[in-house]
Amino acid sequence: MKLPNSADLYQDMIQLANIHKGSAPSTYVHLLLEAHAVLGTARQCLNWRLDTVTQGNVVVAVPGWEASPEENRRLERCYQESCALLGDFYIK
């Protein structure tokens, strides 16, 4: 078994949220917020690791945590989508 990455977890949470969109708006927005928090945390962890590496500090890498540039772009696209979904919810 392998732990899902943040983008995969986000996609699963959004699928679940969409099931509740019409019938339970409070559940929908709660799942949107949780998914957004997952992505935000993943982005902050990635930025922290990149900043630490560029400053020359020693970082012990967690096996399997280092993301490829493609995975980083996917994470950023998911984050932007999450922002848009939350904006749509609160504007309506």
**Number of folded domains that form the chain:** 1
Q: Could you tell me if residue 59 is inside a domain?
A: yes
- Looking at 1-92, list the stretches that DSSP marks H as alpha helix, in order from N- to C-terminal side: 6-20, 25-54, 69-91
38 neighbors 9 (Cβ within 8 angstroms): yes
Predicted confidence at residue 46, as pLDDT, reads 74
Predicted confidence at residue 49, as pLDDT, reads 55
Q: Could you tell me if residue 1 is inside a domain?
A: no
Q: Could you tell me if residue 13 is inside a domain?
A: yes
Q: Could you tell me if residue 24 is inside a domain?
A: yes
Q: Could you tell me if residue 34 is inside a domain?
A: yes
What range defines the domain where residue 86 resides? Answer: 6-91
Supply the pTM of this predicted model.
0.77
Q: Could you tell me if residue 79 is inside a domain?
A: yes
Instruction: Write the CA distances from 39 to 9, 34, 82, integer angstroms.
Output: 9, 9, 8
Query: Per-residue pLDDT for the chain (92 aa), expressed as one digit of tens each?
Result: 888 889 999 999 999 999 999 999 999 999 999 999 999 998 888 766 554 555 555 555 444 455 678 888 999 999 999 999 999 999 98
Q: Could you tell me if residue 29 is inside a domain?
A: yes
